[in-house]
Amino acid sequence: MTARLVVVTLTLSIVLALPAAQAKTPLATGTGGAVATISEQASQSAMTILNKGGNAVDAAVAAAATLGVTDPFSCGIGGGGFMVIYLARDKRVITIDHREMAPASFTPAVFQDQRKAIDFDTAVASGAAVGVPGTVRGWHEALERYGSMSFKQVMAPAIHVAEQGFKVTGIFNHLVTQNETKFQRFSSTSALYLKDGKALPVGALLRNPDLAKAYRALAAGGQRAFYAGPMAQAMITTVNRPPVTGAAVRAGNMTLADLANYEARIRQPVHSTYRGYDVYGMAEPSSGGVAVAEALNILEGYDLKSMPRVDVEHLYLEASRLAFADRNAYLADPEFVDAPVVGLLSKPFAAQRRALIDARRAASIAAAGDPYTFQDDQSVPLRPAAASLPREGAHTTHFTVADKDGNIVSYTFTIESWGGSGIVVPGYGFLLNNEMTDFDFTGPRPNVPEAGKRPRSSMAPTIVLKGGKPAFTIGSPGGATIITTVLQSIVNYVDLGMPMHAAIDAPRLSQRNNAATSVEPGFPGSAQAQALAAFGHKWEAAPEEIGAANALVFNADGTVTAVSESRRHGGGAALVQRAAH
């Protein structure tokens, strides 16, 4: 997968190769490459690149750019993310951290007023909430190191969608309606996504020529066109002087130097084992890989396959509770906090935590454990940090791509809350993130704001091998519920023996060390809920569905199955290059 191995000389040839519209399907099995995203257009963009000879990394960037057009409220070039890549030739997994970063002006008191945390929603809809975007730099690193196509080639499908437009769907209209108040505050956002102050109706054709302009700049100049020059200046102006329509909002303090100094990080993945599988996830500043691995280590001590489903789900909830207690206490940006990751991932620590679980009774809020004992490092204090239960936006996107050569990408990226900060960069058509609200507003805690720091995330793009060969991928959006969605899907698939589509479709239960477990609408009162209530579990119904997962399963016969949501977020789009018959 050396960069630039494949050259496609005519951008037009890629654009014209876009497949004709077809009914979305959440499940597809076949050979060659495969993709699963929440957007039909994004899946088609990835498949176009694969059919032109691009590899999984090329296709992933094409899909991501298209999601920035069709799903702009969850992701885009104004945000950041984490990409996990399996390199088939080298048989290794690497990760690219392009999480947003705090500007140099940040201090731990940035979201405080007289040493008290300011209102969360006030912080979100502001220039102060915007972190230095990392998405474009991440795409650059992915393409340069592991891709085979240029920015010009992989941006072509997304440019086509932005210029030609797409019809507003029910979920798109719903998300705009939810954000009308936030979007009304900013003139550039209102002009793009509202009509007479209201959400665009279902079926309306939405074009975004300004975003096409931004993408053409990337196609011509690569990441330099984003982090320097007119686009960079437009971002700085927007952050520091938000284009408000009425009352002022908190301004940011970002500089061109903040943009120019941003770097993506190539990090080692979190590696753990579970029942013969090798599980690779994202390291800090995401907490996803560590938390999923710790919970799986705890569950590995039980013979879950021999248990009734209600017992398995009870243990899953309790393992998740303990993992979240530790995640909240210890994990943050590794360049600022020396977290005890070795201890958190150790099997003996998991056994110690497992001993706290009552197999017949739900616990109350759990205290953090002491992983330092398992660090084999006598230079650190043997005491847990102060735990925190921060509010975290639940609105992100995840997708996954594989190519005919066996390279795989599992990619989660975001602008944080639905619609991010709510601020569209005038003239460039993309929303800016509110990722800085992922920091804890008050301390002392490991995840407080600091200059140059990346806020803790829960994103958990995951690639799983068995016997040294790819077995499956899984990931989801959903803020802190990402961890539980990935964990529950793995338990459903590996321990309960569900096919991946059923594992993803199952009702989601998200225990994050709270008194009540978050569940999807309609779950309380069900037979499943009543059975778990007998263990003492209490429910907190989420206002909407939890997550929107996508997965790939690599079958023993050499085929691959792409799996997306069948109903959540309007259903997803799974495609394979050559369908099995």
Strand-pair partners of 134 = none
Q: Is residue 3 part of a domain?
A: no
Name which residue leads in pLDDT, 466 or 395: 466
- Domain of residue 210, residue span: 11-265+395-508+545-579
Q: Which residues are catalytic?
A: 396
Q: Quickly tell me which residue has 């915007």 as its tokens.
A: 130
pLDDT grade for 1, boundaries at 50, 70 and 90: very low
pLDDT of residue 443: 86
The yes-or-no verdict on residue 158 having pLDDT over 90 is yes
| Secondary structure class of 304 (helix, strand, coil) | helix
- Same domain membership, residue 563 and residue 461: yes
Q: Which residues pair with 363 in a beta bridge?
A: none
Specify the pLDDT at position 32: 97
Number of domains in the chain: 2
Residue 470 resides in a domain: yes
Task: Tell me how crowded residue 165 is: count the other CB atoms within 10 A of its CB.
Answer: 15
Q: Which residue has the higher pLDDT, 390 or 65?
A: 65
Q: Residue 514 falls within a domain, yes or no? A: no
Residue 12 zone, left/alpha/beta (φ > 0; ψ -120 to 50; rest): alpha
Same domain flag for 357 and 277: yes
The identity of residue 81, as a single letter, is G
Q: Provide the 10 A C-beta neighbour count for residue 477.
A: 30
Same domain, 235 and 337: no
Cα 524 to Cα 516: distance, rounded to the nearest angstrom: 12
Domain boundary (313, 343, 374) is at 374
Instruction: For residue 2, tell me if it sits in a domain.
Output: no
Give yes or no for residue 9 having a pLDDT over 60: no
Q: Do residues 475 and 463 touch, judged by C-beta distance below 8 A?
A: no
Q: Are residues 273 and 221 in the same domain?
A: no
| pLDDT attached to residue 375 | 85
pLDDT in tens, 490-503: 999 999 999 999 99
pLDDT band at residue 35, thresholds of 50, 70 and 90? very high
Q: Which of 309, 344, 374 is the last residue before a domain boundary?
A: 374
Percent of the chain residues topping a pLDDT of 70: 92
User: 395 falls in which pLDDT band (50, 70, 90)?
Assistant: low
Asked if 244 and 287 sit in the same domain, the reply is no
Report the CATH number that the domain containing residue 317 is assigned in CATH: 1.10.246.130
pLDDT class for 18, splitting at 50, 70, 90?
A: very low
Q: What is the CATH number of the domain that holds 89?
A: 3.60.20.40
Q: How many CA atoms lie within 13 A of 554 on its CB side?
A: 23
The answer on 175 and 299 residing in a single domain is: no
pLDDT in tens, 117-148: 999 999 999 999 999 999 999 999 999 999 99
| pLDDT at residue 107 is higher than 70 | yes
Residue 313: inside a domain? yes
What is the spatial distance between Cα 226 and Cα 233, in angstroms, rounded to a whole number?
A: 9
Strand, coil or helix: what is 83? strand
Q: What is the pLDDT of residue 289?
A: 98
Mean pLDDT over 150-159 rounds to 98
**pLDDT value, residue 61:** 98
244 and 258 belong to one structural domain? yes
Same domain membership, residue 160 and residue 23: yes
What is this structure's pTM? 0.93
Q: Is residue 388 part of a domain?
A: no
The answer on 260 and 224 residing in a single domain is yes
| Judgement on whether residues 243 and 336 belong to the same structural domain of the protein | no
* pLDDT bucket at 549, cuts 50 / 70 / 90: very high
Note whether 223 and 257 are same-domain residues: yes
Q: Are residue 456 and residue 472 in the same domain, yes or no?
A: yes
φ and ψ of 136, to 5 deg:
-65, -40
Single residue among 324, 339, 374 that ends a domain in this structure:
374
In a domain, 429, yes or no: yes
* pLDDT tens readout for residues 228-252: 999 999 999 999 999 999 889 999 9
Quote the pLDDT of residue 11: 28
Question: Mean pLDDT in the chain?
Answer: 92
**Per-residue pLDDT averaged across 372-385, rounded?**
60
Position 396 confidence tier, pLDDT thresholds 50, 70, 90: confident
Pick 65 or 10 by higher pLDDT.
Answer: 65
405 to 7, 55, 91, 464, 467: CA distances (angstroms): 17, 8, 12, 17, 18
What's the whole-number mean pLDDT along residues 350-364?
A: 97
Nearest to 44 by CA among 397, 396, 401: 401
- How many CB atoms sit inside 10 A of residue 209's CB? 11
Would 521 be classed as within a structural domain? no
The partner residues of 401 in beta bridges, in order of sequence, read 35, 409
